[in-house]
Amino acid sequence: MDSYGDVLAILPTTSAKLRISSKVLSTASPVFRSMFSPRFREGAALASATGLTEIEFPDDSPQALETIFNVLHFRHDCVGEGFDHDALYKIALVVDKYDLAKALGPWKEVWLRGGAGGGGKRLFAMYAF
């Protein structure tokens, strides 16, 4: 994903490991900015690392994380335009958790144009963005 990245994101329930940039994530999210500061375990590990720092995301959807990381790392050709309501809901959960609404704002129109339906999951996605 980012050949110059300093973090290896370990995605839950998969064997996927994505090389990402802590700088990109810190710019996009105040939550990541705090997480990568020396006050937190991840930031302390990053500061003392001589190579890649592995960070696990055990509670997040691997597909949602990969989609969001692709957007934030300007890999737009790897990002779909349409998602079913469950996938959109999982993306919205990650957006809300890491305070990414501003960074992903332009994608809101693309992702939410999927029409009516979806009930509470679609409503939450609209709220999160």
Residue 120 resides in a domain: yes
pLDDT given for residue 87 in this prediction: 85
Whether 97 is in a domain gets the answer yes
Q: Which residue has the higher pLDDT, 68 or 124?
A: 68
* DSSP structure class, residue 24: H
* Six token digits for residue 68: 């969001």
Domain membership of residue 83 (yes or no) is yes
Residue-wise pLDDT tens digits, 4-32: 999 999 998 888 899 999 999 999 999 99
CATH number assigned to the domain comprising residue 26: 3.30.710.10
Length of the chain: 129
53-56 β-sheet, strand order: 17-20, 7-10, 53-56
- Token pair in block for residue 27: 């710019």
Q: Does residue 2 belong to any structural domain of this protein?
A: no
pTM for this prediction: 0.83
- Give the chain's domain count: 1
Residue 24 domain boundaries: 7-128
Would 1 be classed as within a structural domain? no
